[in-house]
Amino acid sequence: MIKRFFLVLTMMGLAWSQTGFDILSTPTDARDASLGLTLNPTVKPTRILTHPEAAVTLSVWNWVADIQGAYMGIALNNAHLSFQAMNSGELEYRNEVPTEEPLSTFQYNLFNTGGAYAREFGSVILGLGGELVYERTLNASSTSLALNLAAAYPLNDRFIVSGGLRHFGLSGELDEETTKLPSEMWVEVDAQFNQLSVLAEINSGSFPNAVGLSYSLLDKFEIMGGFQVEAADPDVRIHPSAGFTTDWSNFTLGYSIYQLNHTLGARHFISLFWNY
């Protein structure tokens, strides 16, 4: 019951805060959830060329009290398409807990359709992504257009430096309440050492520092882990995540636990990648 109460407060905070689209900054599949870093090519469009793949991604995740999400990504040469949805299930709106009956019930829904394109200009890679986002909570709704601009430069065969702006654009209103996109500047370094990959990111958002590592075993099994640093007041919080992927024929199955020490509990991701 206590978890459900805090969950309601969290969702109400999303409804009335100035950054109602913070869900855009959460992971989309088991890989980036394991690392604690956003790897979605719609958000970081240069990854279309720096980490090319021909794959269709299907992913679902679950959090406490029936908060669920689903994601589909399609890689197409220099382009990438993505579709994402989130639903909270039925939540209770109260002014006292737990003695009174709820004043009303509501759901938090979000739908996100995005696309990205990247192109090489000499040694530099430039990419542009866009997301059309619809958010609805309690008796309010909003539609926004978020843009993602990125550039990447391979230093050598092992290191790639990239950076850009994500989630900036035009935002609607939640009825009489205003909302805005969680716009961030970010810089990332990718390093590859045989079977070991290291990623580190610095950004201007809620989790300003993140580091992720992945290690490949026998080319069929990959273990991943990472942590995010949250600039919480008054303390600094560290959120670890972990997971794995395994290959079978043209498919890759992934599982991860995102933010193991989160106040409301960890978020679980299951992903299936079809490598066509």
Instruction: For the chain, list the domains and their CATH numbers.
Output: 2-275 (2.40.160.40)
Q: What is the pTM of this model?
A: 0.83
Higher model confidence: residue 258 or residue 18? Answer: 258
For residue 42, pLDDT beyond 70: yes
Q: What is residue 61's predicted lDDT score, i.e. its pLDDT? A: 92
Residue type, 34: S
Q: Once rounded to an integer, what is the mean pLDDT over residues 118-133?
A: 95
Q: What is residue 218's predicted lDDT score, i.e. its pLDDT? A: 82
Report which listed range, 136-140, 174-178, 193-197, is most confident: 193-197
For residue 74, pLDDT beyond 60: yes
For residue 55, pLDDT beyond 80: yes
pLDDT tens per residue across span 76-112: 889 999 999 988 766 555 565 555 565 556 567 888 9
Q: What is residue 180's predicted lDDT score, i.e. its pLDDT? A: 72
Please report, rounded to a whole number, the percentage of residues in the chain having pLDDT higher than 70: 79
Q: Once rounded to an integer, what is the mean pLDDT over residues 169-177?
A: 65
| CA angle (29, 57, 148) in 5-degree steps | 65
Q: Is the dihedral of CA 170, 175, 178, 181 positive or negative?
A: negative
φ/ψ (deg, to 5) at 138: 55, -120
Q: What is residue 176's predicted lDDT score, i.e. its pLDDT? A: 52
Tokens of 39: 């790897």
pLDDT tens per residue across span 189-236: 999 998 999 999 999 887 788 999 999 988 889 999 999 988 766 778
pLDDT tens per residue across span 151-170: 999 999 999 999 999 988 88
